[in-house]
């Protein structure tokens, strides 16, 4: 990969804040200049509604919007007809819950999740379970931060209608063996949904190779703007589904008493979409593909291995969570002695280190770990080894400051 030191020059925030060590890319990534410029270009030069106007400006806006769809299809190894623009992963998963789950699930059916899920892949299923009478089960997390796949035969009963799981944990960094789980689920006739919010920005993703039916991602975690994400779905599944939202653009014909619906993906894009944001997301995907997703993954892996080795050797008071090995992304959730995670994060901020603190929208997982909260450092393509060193040295200073409370 091009050196992270050179890549940083593409990101204006780092020039504006040279003192900052930004280790919260799991929450949201920084934006390269080309993405910021794409937003500005859209509003300055081609701002118009899409799919509706016969005039040139609207045609140009529509072409840019649909080109973004094609870019996201290339990014995911998909057919462009299978790319639905949404606001984020959360909206994508809610779309599936309401457009599929509420209409298909019934009392006695089972929904299989995992103990490491983000709330976005838990709460929507709670809502559908209340309405349908379906039962929620979860694949346990082992002590090493990996899923207990030995329990899969027991949990994957004939009543399981859907398996919905994260591709990569936002707390543990665990990369789950989705293809293996999907194969087992398909043998039972279950639908497979993948939360790709953390995997899509950091590693190569071929949605067809995963064996899943749906895959969701958020643009703001992959160098794109907020307000734009993608739901990928197998076209034969999308064709069978009813709309999530009704209104303009998603229709075929409308009468006073009834309506018929457009084919996917337009069926699931009611109203005026986030046009500029979708266009900029396409630019972000192109930017990442230019660097190479495998290169980004190897860079993340080298940083997390280096950081964990230094923490193990130099800071025994720090406890880290998640697997060790090639199935772990660039995320380190940790505790420092008995200190609260918010105290650790606040103290690190005094040294210019930005990390996340809290339950990271994964309360069930933190309960499994016996913790109310953790601090979390996360890396990306612009993170340098020098920044990891600064993080470690700052942690030592925090340890020294709080030594009487450890």
Tell me, yes or no, whether 121 and 245 share the same domain: yes
Is the domain of 118 the same as that of 159?
Answer: yes
Looking at the structure, tell me whether residues 13 and 59 fall in a common domain.
Answer: no
Q: Give pLDDT tens digits for 152-191.
A: 999 999 999 999 999 999 999 999 999 999 999 999 999 9
Average of per-residue pLDDT across 101-114: 97
Angstrom distances, CA of residue 72 to CA of 53, 57, 76, 161, 224: 24, 23, 6, 28, 12
The reply to whether 267 and 363 lie within a common domain is: no
Q: How confident is the model at residue 2 (pLDDT cuts 50, 70, 90)?
A: confident
Predicted confidence (pLDDT) per residue in 309-322, tens digit: 999 999 999 999 99
**Do residues 121 and 192 both lie within one domain?**
yes
Encode pLDDT of 349-381 as tens digits.
Answer: 999 999 999 999 999 999 999 999 999 999 999
Residue with tokens 């002590």: 143
- Residue 329 contacts by C-beta under 8 Å, 6 or more apart in sequence? 168, 173, 174, 175, 198, 199, 202, 203, 297, 300, 301, 304
Element (H, E) at 193: strand 191-195
378 and 277 inside one domain: no
My answer on whether 286 and 341 are in the same domain is no
Q: Single out the catalytic residue among 36, 59, 102, 361.
A: 361
Domain termination site, one of 290, 320, 337: 290
Where among 259, 290, 321 does a domain terminate?
290
Confidence of residue 53 (pLDDT cuts 50, 70, 90): confident
Does 405 fall in a domain? no
Residues 6+ apart with CB under 8 A from 357: 341, 342, 344, 345, 346, 373, 374, 375, 376
Q: Which of the listed residues 290, 307, 333 is the one where a domain comes to its end? A: 290
Q: What is the DSSP letter of 120?
A: G
Domain count across the chain: 2
Task: Domain of residue 391: give its range.
Answer: 4-31+292-400
In this prediction, residue 406 carries a pLDDT of: 77
Residue 406 lies in a domain: no
Residues 106 and 196 both lie in one domain: yes
Evaluate whether 308 touches 154 at the Cβ level (below 8 Å).
no
Across residues 288-303, what is the average pLDDT?
Answer: 98
Q: Does one domain contain both 159 and 87?
A: yes
Helix (H) or strand (E) holding 113: strand 110-114
With respect to residue 134, please indicate whether it lies within any of the assigned structural domains. yes
**392 shares its domain with 318:** yes
Q: For all residues of the chain together, what is the average pLDDT?
A: 97
- pTM of the predicted model as reported, rounded to 2 decimal places: 0.97
Cα gap 308→145, rounded to integer Å: 15
361 is catalytic: yes
142 and 87 part of one domain: yes
- pLDDT category at 343 given cuts 50, 70, 90 is very high
Q: What is the CATH number of the domain that holds 340?
A: 3.90.1150.10
Q: How many Cβ atoms are within 10 Å of 302's Cβ, its own excluded?
A: 15
Band (198; pLDDT cuts 50, 70, 90): very high
Using left for φ > 0, alpha for ψ between -120 and 50, and beta otherwise, residue 227 falls in left
């Amino acid at each position: 990969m091009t050196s992270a030191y050179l890549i940083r020059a593409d990101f204006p925030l780092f020039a504006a804040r040279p003192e900052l060590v930004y280790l919260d890319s799991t929450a949201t990534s920084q934006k390269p200049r080309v993405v910021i410029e794409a937003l500005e270009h859209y509003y300055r030069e081609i701002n118009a509604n899409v799919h509706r106007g016969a005039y040139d400006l609207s045609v140009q806006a529509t072409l840019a919007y649909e080109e973004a769809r094609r870019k996201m299809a290339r990014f995911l190894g998909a057919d462009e007809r299978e790319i639905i623009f949404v606001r984020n992963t959360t909206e994508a998963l809610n779309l599936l819950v309401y457009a599929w789950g509420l209409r298909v699930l019934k009392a006695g059916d089972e929904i299989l999740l995992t103990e490491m899920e983000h709330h976005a892949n838990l709460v929507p299923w709670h809502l559908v379970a209340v309405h349908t009478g379906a039962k929620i089960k979860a694949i346990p997390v082992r002590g090493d931060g990996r899923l207990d796949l030995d329990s899969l035969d027991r949990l994957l009963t004939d009543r399981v209608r859907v398996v919905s799981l994260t591709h990569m944990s936002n707390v543990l960094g665990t990369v789950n063996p989705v293809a293996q789980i999907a194969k087992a689920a398909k043998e039972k006739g279950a639908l497979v949904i993948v939360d790709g919010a953390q995997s899509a920005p950091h590693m190569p993703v071929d949605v067809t190779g995963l064996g899943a039916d749906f895959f969701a991602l958020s643009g703001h975690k992959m160098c794109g703007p907020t307000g734009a994400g993608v739901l990928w779905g197998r076209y034969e599944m999308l064709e069978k589904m009813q709309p999530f939202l009704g209104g303009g653009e998603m229709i075929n014909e409308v009468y006073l008493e009834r309506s018929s619906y457009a084919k996917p993906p337009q069926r699931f894009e009611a109203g005026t979409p986030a046009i500029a944001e979708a266009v900029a997301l396409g630019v972000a995907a192109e930017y990442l593909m230019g660097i190479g997703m495998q290169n980004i993954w190897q860079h993340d892996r080298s940083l997390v291995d280096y950081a964990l080795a230094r923490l193990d050797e130099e800071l025994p008071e720090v406890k880290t969570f998640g697997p060790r090995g090639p199935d772990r992304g660039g995320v380190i959730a940790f505790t420092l002695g008995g200190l609260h995670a918010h105290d650790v994060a606040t103290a690190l901020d005094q040294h210019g280190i930005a990390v996340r603190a809290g339950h990271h929208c994964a309360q069930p997982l933190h309960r499994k770990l016996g913790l109310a909260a953790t601090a979390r450092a996360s890396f990306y393509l612009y993170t340098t080894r020098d920044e990891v060193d600064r993080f470690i040295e700052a942690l030592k200073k925090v340890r020294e400051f709080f030594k009487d409370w450890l």
